[in-house]
């Protein structure tokens, strides 16, 4: 069975409440339910974690890195600032896909730089909450060595 960890960074707990024109109307709990239901339908075990604290995110990466096969990470604002999250992901030596609900390249210039992208196996940005679903789908082939490209 494939085991994935989904890590969400600062302010994602405010989904459905903040900047709906950018992040949509689904709540964070709706997102979690969607991810869990989709993963279950694909026979994937998924651990989901959100924190507004960089240190807590790093600790969870270390913890999950002991037993998951890969990560789906939306580091949110920390994407553009955190060398420490990058180092944690590299330290556990597991593949990861960087996701963003909004299109970070259509937003402020400072959001165009990611400390994760060059080490991620892929980046999915701007496809709303479906970014998570597409990342899970990709892992179902990637972790089995079945990429078709």
Q: What does the pLDDT look like over 31-90, one tens digit per residue?
A: 999 999 999 999 999 999 999 999 999 999 999 999 999 999 999 888 887 899 999 999
Find the catalytic residue in 28, 80, 100, 142.
Answer: 100
Within 13 Å, how many C-alpha atoms sit on residue 35's CB side? 25
138 is catalytic: no
b or e along 32-45 (b: 16 or more beta carbons within 10 Å of the residue's beta carbon)? beebeebbeeeebe
Q: CATH number for the domain including 90?
A: 3.40.50.9100
In a domain, 18, yes or no: no
Residues in the chain, total = 149
100 is catalytic: yes
Residue of 48, 59, 61, 63 whose CA lies nearest to 15: 48
In a domain, 117, yes or no: yes
Chain mean pLDDT for the chain: 89
What band does 148 get if pLDDT is binned at 50, 70 and 90?
Answer: low
In a domain, 11, yes or no: no
In a domain, 6, yes or no: no
Find the catalytic residue in 23, 115, 132, 142.
Answer: 23
Residue of 132, 128, 130, 59 whose CA lies nearest to 98: 132
Is the pLDDT at 147 greater than 80? The verdict is no
Strand order across the 70-74 sheet? 44-50, 2-8, 70-74, 96-100, 122-125
In a domain, 113, yes or no: yes
In a domain, 8, yes or no: no
In a domain, 16, yes or no: no
In a domain, 99, yes or no: yes
Number of domains in the chain: 1
* pLDDT score of 20: 64
For the record, the structure tokens of 41 come out as 């339908």
CA distance 94 to 115: 16
């Amino acid at each position: 069975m494939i085991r994935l960890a989904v890590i969400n960074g600062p302010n994602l707990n405010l989904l459905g409440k903040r900047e709906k024109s950018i992040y949509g109307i689904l709540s964070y709990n709706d997102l979690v339910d969607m991810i869990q239901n989709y993963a279950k339908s694909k026979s994937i075990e998924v651990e989901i974690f959100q924190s507004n604290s960089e240190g807590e995110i790093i600790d969870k990466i270390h913890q999950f890195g002991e037993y998951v096969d890969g990560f789906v990470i939306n580091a949110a604002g920390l994407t553009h600032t955190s060398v420490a999250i990058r180092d944690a992901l590299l330290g556990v030596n597991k593949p990861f896909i960087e996701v963003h609900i909004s299109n970070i390249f259509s937003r402020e210039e400072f959001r165009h730089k990611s400390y994760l992208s060059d080490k991620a196996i892929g980046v999915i940005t701007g496809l709303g909450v479906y970014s998570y679903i597409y990342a899970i789908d990709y892992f179902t082939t990637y972790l089995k060595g079945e990429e078709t490209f």
